[in-house]
């Protein structure tokens, strides 16, 4: 049977890669590590009746002990959500009718749309004296303007770091977490010198390579960027480029792909981040301006197999949180782009030195929002494709922008939807009405697909 299905021993013996080791915290340290006093006070202040505790995979080993301890403190039942996403899983929380969510571990801190959230970050170790010595050796000039950023797991050390460095480095700016007491969400804030911008500062980041660092590299135009990784064997303040030039070249290529595309697929990668519906509507408006069709897909976490089911879509637009919006789409059948790249392609918007990864900044009220022009480009004016070298006519796309799947034109040509269906090698079950002989029903196969009863042994 292995010719028709995979060998079951392959699945059993397959080695599964685990990005983070499973954390098992001593019982006597649970209250301190997971800040249960703070969690209890927050639940009581919010008058929460039913709360969900969201844990990433690496912290699931402590989830039961945390839930039991917290349940005893508040005198109510709590629920555990096993979700390694950096976003709050509001959909799963609503399945049990939760009033609030406590998110443990790393988080992108995207604001939620329905439930109040409390973030409890993991506390990673940092050798503060060693970091301070590396800092002073790297920046001997104490008048340098330096902006210190860090992963949220090191936030609890920033008070000590500031006390040791601020007296000597007057131009040092240490970012900090700002807590909004209304919804429990945290966000970053920093106070730069009056009249200065990020480009005037040397950027310094404490943390590991990952989505947070990638977003930092492409979104903040500093004089230089240095990274201090406490988990490396010999931590130091190393210069970091992160392949920014190659990244921007790739994204500019994707902008051209959007310009060439006639059918866009909007992939909703999150249902919990606020204003995601506004981002979907923004893509639809931009596409309509350029005469492009749009289809909306809610497929959970996108992967190659899921999106390959829609070959008619030429470019997918991913609506997700900042840490999940940049996807390397080389393995995908069609490229995945961001809302910012759709803006550049459909709005004739100039490229700026700050790459926008948070779609909320492009919506009305955001710092990078621009109004969509009412009148599109002259449909009779061609545009040259930098990929194919052919001319693009907006008029051809406007003609096919109707949502109808099949529509007969005056010149007896059919729309693109019918052409796509006709070009498929398999178009679905054929009815063949009147062409098939009517026969009585017969007994079919019985058993499982991996081995029907009428099949012999192979």
Q: pLDDT tens across 381-416, in order?
A: 677 777 777 777 664 555 444 444 333 333 433 455
**Residues 377, 370: Cα–Cα separation, whole Å:** 17
Q: At 194, is the pLDDT very low, low, confident or very high (cuts 50, 70, 90)?
A: low
Task: Give the SS3 label for residue 74.
Answer: helix
Please state, in angstroms and as integers, the Cα–Cα distance from residue 70 to each residue in 31, 76, 84, following that order: 9, 9, 21
CB 183 within 8 A of CB 161: no
For the whole model, what pTM was predicted? 0.77
Query: Which H helix or E strand runs over 345?
Result: helix 339-346
**Residue 337 pLDDT exceeds 90:** yes
**Helices (DSSP H) in 268-323: which residue ranges?**
276-289, 304-307
**Residue 253 pLDDT exceeds 70:** yes
Token pair of 116 as six digits: 């109040």
Full DSSP string of 99-125: SEEEEES----PPBSSS-EEEE-----
| Long-range contact set of residues 242-247: C-beta below 8 Å, sequence gap at least 24 | 242/209, 242/213, 242/214, 242/217, 244/217, 244/218, 247/218
Among candidates 251, 367, 365, which has minimal Cα distance to 318? 251
Token pair of 75 as six digits: 């005198």
User: Dmax of the chain from CA atoms?
Assistant: 93
Full DSSP string of 159-208: HHHHHHHTTT-TTEEE-EEEE-TTT--EEEE--PPTT--GGGSEEEEES-
Mean of pLDDT over the chain: 81
Among candidates 301, 294, 290, which has minimal Cα distance to 395? 290
Token pair of 421 as six digits: 């269906």
- The DSSP symbol for 76 reads S
Cα 222 from chain centroid (whole Å): 24
Q: Measured between alpha carbons, how far apart are the two ends of the chain, in Å? A: 6
Residue scoring higher pLDDT (448 or 136): 136
**Residues 131, 136: Cα–Cα separation, whole Å:** 9
Task: Give the SS3 label for residue 422.
Answer: helix
Please classify residue 40 by burial: count the beta carbons closer than 10 Å to its beta carbon, then call 0-12 exposed, 13-18 middle and 19+ buried.
middle
143 — phi, psi (to 5°)?
Answer: -95, 0
Which domains does the chain possess? 27-120 (3.40.50.11840), 128-242 (3.40.50.11850), 246-399 (3.40.50.11860)
Stretch 414-427: mean pLDDT, rounded? Answer: 62
Stretch 135-145: mean pLDDT, rounded? Answer: 90
Neighbours of 326 (CB within 10 A): 20
Please state, in angstroms and as integers, the Cα–Cα distance from residue 188 to each residue in 15, 62, 148, 149, 323, following that order: 38, 28, 12, 9, 15
The pLDDT tens digits for 9-24 are 666 676 655 556 666 8
């Amino acid at each position: 049977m292995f010719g028709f299905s995979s060998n079951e021993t392959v699945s059993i013996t397959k080695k599964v890669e685990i990005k983070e080791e499973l954390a098992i915290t001593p019982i006597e340290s649970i209250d301190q590590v997971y800040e249960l006093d703070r969690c209890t006070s927050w639940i009581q202040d919010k008058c929460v009746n039913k709360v969900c505790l969201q844990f990433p995979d690496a912290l699931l080993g402590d989830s039961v002990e945390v839930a039991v301890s917290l349940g005893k403190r508040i005198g109510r039942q709590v629920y555990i959500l096993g979700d390694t996403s950096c976003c709050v899983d509001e959909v799963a929380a609503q399945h049990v009718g939760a009033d609030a969510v406590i998110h443990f571990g790393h988080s992108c801190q995207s604001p939620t749309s329905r439930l109040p959230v409390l973030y409890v970050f993991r506390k990673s170790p940092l050798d503060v004296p060693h970091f301070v010595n590396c800092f002073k050796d790297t920046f001997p000039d104490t008048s340098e303007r330096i902006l210190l950023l860090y992963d949220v797991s090191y936030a609890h050390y920033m008070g000590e770091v500031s006390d040791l460095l601020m007296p000597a480095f007057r131009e040092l700016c240490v970012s900090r977490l700002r807590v909004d007491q209304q919804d429990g969400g945290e966000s970053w804030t920093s106070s730069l010198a009056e009249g200065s911008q990020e480009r005037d500062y040397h950027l310094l980041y404490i943390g590991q390579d990952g989505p947070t660092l990638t977003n930092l590299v492409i979104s903040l135009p500093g004089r230089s960027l240095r990274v201090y990784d406490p988990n490396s064997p010999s931590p130091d303040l190393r210069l970091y480029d992160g392949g920014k030039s190659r990244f921007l070249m790739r994204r500019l290529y994707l902008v051209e792909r959007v310009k060439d595309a006639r059918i866009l697929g909007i992939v909703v990668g999150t249902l919990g981040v606020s204003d995601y519906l506004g981002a979907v509507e923004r893509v639809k408006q931009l596409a309509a301006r350029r005469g492009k069709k749009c289809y909306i897909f809610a497929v959970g976490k996108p992967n190659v197999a899921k999106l390959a089911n829609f070959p008619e879509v030429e470019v997918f637009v991913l609506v997700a949180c900042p840490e999940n919006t940049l996807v390397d789409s080389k393995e995908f059948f069609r490229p995945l782009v961001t809302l910012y790249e759709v803006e550049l392609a459909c709005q004739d918007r100039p490229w700026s030195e700050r790459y926008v990864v948070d779609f909320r900044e492009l919506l009305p009220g955001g710092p990078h929002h621009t109004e969509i022009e009412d009148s599109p480009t002259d449909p009779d004016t061609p545009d040259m494709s930098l990929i194919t070298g052919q001319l693009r006519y907006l008029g051809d796309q406007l003609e096919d922008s109707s949502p109808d799947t099949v529509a007969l034109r005056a010149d007896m040509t059919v729309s693109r939807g019918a052409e796509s269906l006709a070009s498929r090698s398999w178009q679905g079950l054929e009815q063949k009405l009147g062409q098939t002989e009517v026969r009585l029903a017969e007994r079919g196969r019985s058993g499982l697909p991996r081995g029907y009863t009428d099949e012999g042994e192979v």
